[in-house]
Structure 1
Amino acid sequence: MKINFSTKVSQDYLSVKNGFDQTLFTKLSPPFPPVKLQRFDGSEIGDIVSLELNFLLFRQRWTSEITDSQTGDSEYFFVDEGVELPFFLKKWKHKHRIIKEGNHSTIRDEVEFDAGSGLLSLLLYPALYLQFAYRKPIYKKVFA
């Protein structure tokens, strides 16, 4: 299943690229489930990001590896792929794109996920979509 979510921000794409750091990652974490960042290497190929999701009655680890990262004349992107996922996900691939638009830019999240069954993926879709919708005002504020 796929989710695509775009947010226009006021800063140029290279400034936005430089703002994709541990501080931003922490701000983007939704209120539920609470997230404890355990490791954040960055957004270059081979970097690892690992966190613990607290679902109150149980905790789940989510670890992703950055598998691609490129900066061009009009776009920067990096891709994180899940290597250790919560039990309800079998596959996770998230391409973070920052696209130049004059002196502004668009942050585009392109996500592919699979829960192992079509029905479960369909049931997860609204919750995951809301997680990305939650990011929109944060992106706009941070990159104003």
Structure 2
Amino acid sequence: MQLHLKTYVRQDFLTVFHAFDEQLFRRLSPPYPRLKLLRFDGSEPGDVVEVELQTGIKSFRWTSLITERSITAAGAFFVDEGQELPPPLRFWRHKHVVSAAGTGALIHDVITYSTGHKALDLLLYPLMLAQFSMRKPIYRKVFGKV
């Protein structure tokens, strides 16, 4: 299942792309489940990001590996792929793309996920959409609303 969200912001794409650091990661964390950041290496291939999802009842580990990164004259991206995922997820790939858009930038969150069951993937879609839609106002606050 794939989810693709786009957010226009005022700052140029390179400024936005280079701001994808630990501080922004913390700001983008959803209110629920709470995330306890265990490790944040960065966004270069080989870097690891590890969190503990705290539901209030049980905690789950989520570890992602940065597998790709590219910067061109028109845009930049990096990809994190899930290595250790909370149930019911079996596959996770999140491509963070920032492209030039006039005098500003367009941030793309392209998420591909799978539970191994199409029906469950479809049931999770509204939750994924809600969780990642919460990033839009944060992006606009940090990088400027267009």
Q: Structure 1 length normalisation: TM-score?
A: 0.98
How many angstroms does 1:52 deviate by?
A: 0.4
Q: Distance in 2 between matches of 1:92 and 1:33?
A: 17
Shift of 1:103: 2.1
Q: Does 1:81 find its partner at 2:118?
A: no
| TM superposition shift of 1:57 | 0.9
Identity of aligned residues (%): 48
SS in 2 for 1:36: strand
One-letter identity of the residue aligned with 1:112: T
Deviation at 1:120, TM superposition (A): 1.0
| CA deviation map 1:36-60 (0-9, x unaligned) | 0110000010000000001111000
Question: By how many angstroms is 1:123 displaced?
Answer: 1.0
d(CA) in 2 for partners of 1:88, 1:55: 14
Aligned to 1:106: 106
What code does the residue aligned with 1:50 have? E
Map residues 51-62 of structure 1 onto 2, 5 A cutoff: 51-62=51-62
Q: Tell me which stretches of 4 or more aligned residues in structure 1 moved more than 3 Å.
A: none
Q: Please name the residue that 1:40 is paired with.
A: 40
**For 1:3 and 1:16, how far apart are their aligned partners in 2?**
21
Give the 3-state SS of the residue equivalent to 1:119 in structure 2.
helix
Count of aligned residue pairs for this structure pair:
144
Distance in 2 between residues matched to 1:124 and 1:54, nearest whole Å = 18
Are 2:143 and 1:130 equivalent residues in the alignment?
A: no
Residues of 2 paired with 1:136 and 1:55: CA distance? Answer: 23
Shift of 1:102: 2.7
Per-residue CA deviations over 1:21-71 (Å, capped at 9, x if unaligned) read 100000000100011011000001000000000111100000000000000
User: Who is 1:119 aligned against?
Assistant: 119
Q: What is the DSSP-based 3-state SS (H/G/I as helix, E as strand, rest coil) of the residue aligned with 1:26?
A: helix
Paired amino acid for 2:116: G
TM-score w.r.t. length of structure 2:
0.97
Looking at structure 2, the residues matched to 85 and 26 of structure 1 have their Cα atoms a distance apart, in angstroms, of 19
Letter in 2 for 1:82: G
Q: CA RMSD in A?
A: 0.6
Q: d(CA) in 2 for partners of 1:17 and 1:141?
A: 15
Deviation at 1:124, TM superposition (A): 0.9
